[in-house]
Structures are given as structure tokens and as C-alpha cells.
Amino acid sequence: MANPKKKMSRCRTHRRRSLWKMSPPSVIRCPQCHEWTLPHRVCPSCGYYDGEVVLTIKEEK
Ligand SMILES: [Zn+2]
């Protein structure tokens, strides 16, 4: 039977959950405009990804 051998203590469960929250959010600097963006994503402020314009962002008037 796929069951845990021992009941996990409340302390251990809480510790694991708190550790998950400890992991820092992965953000990178855009090489084009040096804004903070998520990795493997098109930059929302300049529309560049991998040195090419992927999105054309309309400039505010
Ligand atoms: Zn950018």
C-alpha cells in the first residue's frame, strides 16, 4: 500500500511549507532596458526577447 510509514509531525509540515515560501522569486534584468523581468519571457517594458523585438509596445502619448 502506498501509505506513509509514519505520520508527519505538525512541526515538520509547517517547516516544509515555510521553506517553500523562502525560495526567492526568479527575476532577471532585461539586457535591453535593464528592467526587472521574468526569465524566458518577453520583456513587458520594451518587448525584447533574445535580442529581437517580439512585441511592439505603443508609447504613451
Ligand atoms: Zn526590456
Q: What is the pLDDT of residues 1-23, one digit of tens each?
A: 789 999 999 999 999 888 877 77
Q: How far apart are CA 55 and CA 58, in angstroms?
A: 9
Q: What pLDDT, on a 0 to 100 scale, did the predictor assign at position 60?
A: 65
- Residue 36 is inside which H or E element, if any? strand 36-37
User: In angstroms, what is the span from residue 40 Cα to ligand 1's centroid?
Assistant: 12
User: In angstroms, what is the span from residue 37 Cα to ligand 1's centroid?
Assistant: 8
Q: What pLDDT, on a 0 to 100 scale, did the predictor assign at position 52?
A: 81
Quote the cell numbers at residue 37.
Answer: 523581468
Could you tell me which residues come within 8 angstroms of residue 41 by beta carbon, excluding any fewer than 6 positions away? 49
**All structural domains of the chain with their residue ranges:** 25-61
pTM (2 d.p.): 0.49
Q: How far apart are CA 8 and CA 16, in angstroms?
A: 11
User: In angstroms, what is the span from residue 3 Cα to ligand 1's centroid?
Assistant: 49
User: In angstroms, what is the span from residue 27 Cα to ligand 1's centroid?
Assistant: 13
User: In angstroms, what is the span from residue 49 Cα to ligand 1's centroid?
Assistant: 8
